[in-house]
Amino acid sequence: MKHKLTVLVAISAALTLAGCSQTTQSNTQSSQSKTSKVAKNSSDNSNTSTASSKNKDTYTKLSASKMDYKTTASAIAVYAAQKYGDTWEIAVNAAKQGNLGVAFRSKDATGITSDNDGYVYEVSGTGKSSNARYMLAGDGADKQVTIFVKQRNLDTTSLKDIVAYLNQKNDADLVKQLAEKTQLNVKLAGDEDTQKTTNNSSASVIPSSLQGTWYTADTGNGNIDTLTVTDNKINDEAGFSMNVKAKTSGSSTSDGYMKQTTINGISFYSFTNMGQTPGQGSTYLAPHTEDGQSVIVSANSNGRTNAVYWKSEALAKKNSNKQFSDLKY
């Protein structure tokens, strides 16, 4: 009897220990499972936080030193719309639904009085003449931008400061979207400058071999510069504009006259402001041929080539900064 009781006690103790072991093991596994889930969740949160942080740091940025003329016009418009509202905001909002048109106008036609000798860029999103205007002076990131509403001078600031402001506002994407829809040297309805030029230009002055829209990538940074020549007017995006008269007299600082001259065996046409003689400060253009393509050679008074203009942007990019053996550099 005593022996049986001893066996029963031993069996009972063994069962108790087995139960405790299973309970402990179950609790340990549960604890490990919870710990694993917590660690996983923590890792997921960390990854999400890192991704979010990366997204915040990957906003598109503008560069003032690598900006073509269409992007420059778009950046100025967006900046002015945010800073000053008024007609600038109207132009930008309209351009979002259509195109951002930029007309090249003279100071005389707009009534703007400024020490700047360049011409006035008039910005519109409706295709109609606008009071949103600006003028440029200088080059590169330090280029000075003077912003107007009609004839009222609002401010002069540098392109790099405009770009810094837009980058801070994370507006680079908007600027680039508008730049893709920007059209330069457009004719706006009600453009008094266009009417004035037409009225004063009864006969074609510039030869047809120079006329048209031409492109060059000889800008040093690969950007495209456009030269537009009509029968009586020259515009380029670098800031040169001239109404070409048949006679060497005129009342406007935007007026000039043309003469023909041969330099280094190439027949150039010089375009000179009224009251001046051809030479330094004049623009020299020559119809020419390179690689079987019609081009325009732009040079200084010594015949040294500044740029070669092509009939398409693709040809301009293909021949970017290329030097030709028959031209002087």
pLDDT in tens, 198-221: 444 446 789 989 998 899 998 877
* pLDDT tens digit sequence for 1-45: 445 444 444 444 444 444 444 444 444 444 444 444 434 444 444
pLDDT of residue 237: 66
Report d(CA 232, CA 42) in Å as an integer: 72
Separation of alpha carbons 306 and 237, rounded Å: 14
Q: How far apart are CA 97 and CA 129, in angstroms?
A: 17
pLDDT: which is higher, 238 or 114: 114
On whether the CB atoms of residues 229 and 244 are closer than 8 A, the answer is no
Q: How confident is the model at residue 268 (pLDDT cuts 50, 70, 90)?
A: very high
Residue 195 has pLDDT above 70, yes or no: no
Report the pLDDT averaged over residues 133-157. Answer: 90
At 17 the pLDDT is 44
Name the phi and psi angles at 53, rounded to 5. -65, -40
Helix (H) or strand (E) holding 199: helix 192-199
Check residue 42 and give its pLDDT: 43
Beta-carbon count within 10 A of 238 CB? 17
- Which ranges in 57-141 belong to alpha helices (H)? 69-84, 86-97, 107-110
Mean pLDDT of all residues belonging to the chain? 79
**Higher-confidence residue: 161 or 239?**
161
Q: Is the pLDDT of residue 153 over 70?
A: yes
pLDDT at 318: 93
Q: What is the mean pLDDT of residues 110-118?
A: 79
Looking only at the bridges linking them, the beta strands covering 225-229 and 233-236 are antiparallel
Rounded CA Rg of the chain: 35
Supply the pLDDT for residue 38.
37
pLDDT band at 53; cut points 50, 70, 90: very low
How far apart (Å, rounded) are the C-alpha atoms in residues 209 and 207? 5
